[in-house]
Amino acid sequence: MSAPPKAPRIPVTCSKHGVTWCDPFAWLKQRENPSVLEHLKAENAYTASIMAPHRLLQKEIYQELVGRMAEDDVSVPVPFGPFAYATREVAGCQYPVLFRMPRDGGAEEVLLDVNKLAEAHDYFDLGFCLVSPSHQLMAYAVDTLGEETYDIYFRDLANDCLLPDVITGVAANMVWGADSQSVYYVCLDQVHRPFRLMRHELGGQKDAMIAEELDRAFVLSVGKTEDDAFITMCRESQTTSHISCFPAETINPIPFDVQPRCEGVEYGVSHWHGHWLIMTNESAPNFKLELLIGDSRETWLGHRSQVLLEDYLVFKDHVVTLERVHGVTQVWVTDEARQRRQVTLPGAVYDVDFEENPEWNAPAVRLSYSSPICPDRVLSVDLVTLEIQILKEREVRGGFDASRYLCHRDWAISSDGTKVPLTIIERPDRVQSTTIMHGYGAYGISLEARFSSARLSLLDRGVRIVLAHVRGGSEMGRAWYDAGKLAQKHHSFEDFIACAEALKAKGLADRLVVHGGSAGGLLVGAALNLRPELFQGVIALVPFVDVLNTMLDPDLPLTEMEYEEWGNPNDPDVFHRIRSYAPYEQLQPHAFPTMWVTAGISDPRVGYWEPAKWVARIRELQTNDKPILLKTELGAGHYGATGRYDALHEIAEEYTFALIALHLLDSSPR
């Protein structure tokens, strides 16, 4: 086994609020320093050397992943105006082909072959593709570095040519004006914050600024109401919303506020029959729906303490709501007379969300549905009869049989007595006491119980998959989120540890690997510091582990926007609180489990230096010789590879590591 790289120690002394500490690897943040790239390449070479003996297993898993995929596939066409729009996947191609056909049938028209756009680039992300209201033009956004900074191009569909207009260095967020000649897009400031709304007229010489948001705790985005009557400009922080609108046909827009900004009040708006329907948490932590008629408000759907109103969608004569009850999302349809009916969905544990629904006068709502043992489906639900039609179920090849697998809900008891839900997925005839437990627990983002065909390569080898729904997400309502942020952040870590202990106590995880990405990497990093002996392996993807130093640097992307999630360490109490759990600062000598850690050199969300510093420090402190592996994508950002085959290679490598950590190298799928 080759020796791991040893990062030079170049101590930097830091001081804040009377506390002085040393950061020996701060130099890794110096992106332009040639020694940094040299070190990252050395780490990649070491990781490759450790994984080299297992290349056959990795190749086997990759072939399984590809073998389950319908390589030639077509999405469900989405009716929009005179056309139906869809995407096609072609065997051997990394990216989709976008096309359309006349709504009532006819020849296909290719709009964009993403493979041709991407062929000259190692990294390629299509941020959006939007057809104009006239259906004559198309705008699309491209990022070729992974920095989440996009260039917008315009295509004349009638003449099959690019227009000379190009908008560079902006956010992946744009809408068309009603005239199909103007577009509204969002600029980024020096810390990568979406902050300014601009109007561009095709063929015009100078773009006009519509509005900007100077408070660095807020980001600005642009959208449209479901009836296409108004363009919406939303400025929002982690806790506060401020929405302004203007008619979509306006040439010189003057935005007006639907309601004024009020600290701590979040809301979204829809235009409905000349009035405004508002989803708000004002005096309603789990949100409610109100109808704004002139200056008066009517309650459309009241607040409920045990039900989280997650989202809603307005149609001409109906409102469809997504409502989370005891961790599971329900779908309800309400008509103009406010008669509510629930859509009956199969299974006790599943994930459901809105699909593309571009037409507000459509007779049905489209939903995406899956469960851990049910492949992705596109459903059409009639808004009057609630009849469900399965428009498509994603094909899973390779002999997939859903009856072989089980999914059920269990509970762990956290240190303060709180019951924490667990979603457990397994193949009973193969399962051993080997488990991978996933966690996230931040930003109110729930860990959804979705299907994954890739996951079958683990389940078929006897690995149990567990989703730990710790506080910090919204699985059990908004209070679940509030109980895992700011001063309550410790609950996320305590819940995660309680879940691990519960699995071990029940004989379900004699060998346990934990998995978390981004803020989920913070979760597993903090849990690792608290209870390293619980885990046989750690998978931390682009982990947010250098929390204290990042939150002390306002010049980094996201920092000031995230004070409401983690706190502002310029406050002494907050500083000490973050420092008490920050994975990098709290590292102590331990017999660490083997670890798989990733980074992206262009990542604007979690700087590559965070995982690089963390790994270097762990290696200094570990009291055993378990491999601590770091792999940095030198041509990608936060989300890794963008091509579908490249992404499968990454998954195969990660799964191979998991099997190494679980001592299942000799297992074979059946």
Q: Which amino acid is at 89?
A: E
Q: Nearest 5°: CA angle at 601, between 595 and 606?
A: 70
Residue 650, SS3 per DSSP: helix
For residue 332, give every residue at least 6 positions away whose Cβ sits within 8 Å of its Cβ, in sequence order, or none: 320, 321, 323, 340, 341, 342, 343
* Token output for 610: 């965070």
- Tokens 């009241």 correspond to 302
How many whole angstroms separate alpha carbon 629 and alpha carbon 595? Answer: 6
How many whole angstroms separate alpha carbon 252 and alpha carbon 18? Answer: 53
Report how far apart, in Å, the C-alpha atoms of 64 and of each of 380, 419, 463, 466 are. Answer: 31, 37, 16, 22
Are 157 and 147 in contact by the 8 Å Cβ rule? The answer is: no
How many whole angstroms separate alpha carbon 539 and alpha carbon 28? Answer: 21
How many whole angstroms separate alpha carbon 566 and alpha carbon 312? Answer: 28
Single out the residue of 105, 118, 108, 66 nearest to residue 87, CA to CA. Answer: 108
How many whole angstroms separate alpha carbon 94 and alpha carbon 141? Answer: 18
**Which one of the listed residues 39, 200, 469, 638 is annotated catalytic?**
638
Residue 544, SS3 per DSSP: coil
Residue 34, SS3 per DSSP: helix
Q: What is the largest CA-CA distance in the chain?
A: 73
Q: How far is CA 242 from the centre of its chain?
A: 23
Single out the residue of 128, 313, 332, 296 nearest to residue 225, CA to CA. Answer: 313
**Which one of the listed residues 371, 492, 518, 667 is annotated catalytic?**
518
Are 43 and 631 in contact by the 8 Å Cβ rule? The answer is: yes
Catalytic site residue 207? no
Residues in the chain, overall count: 670
How many whole angstroms separate alpha carbon 132 and alpha carbon 113? Answer: 18
DSSP letter at 324 equals E
Which helix (H) or strand (E) element contains residue 59? Answer: helix 55-68
Which helix (H) or strand (E) element contains residue 370? Answer: strand 364-371
Catalytic site residue 518? yes
Catalytic site residue 603? yes
Q: Which long-range contacts (CB under 8 A, 24 or more apart) does 43-48 make?
A: 43/4, 43/5, 43/612, 43/615, 43/630, 43/631, 43/632, 44/630, 44/631, 44/632, 44/634, 46/2, 46/3, 46/4, 46/5, 46/629, 47/629, 47/630, 47/631
**Which one of the listed residues 125, 143, 376, 603 is annotated catalytic?**
603
How many whole angstroms separate alpha carbon 306 and alpha carbon 286? Answer: 8
The catalytic site residues sit at 518, 603, 638
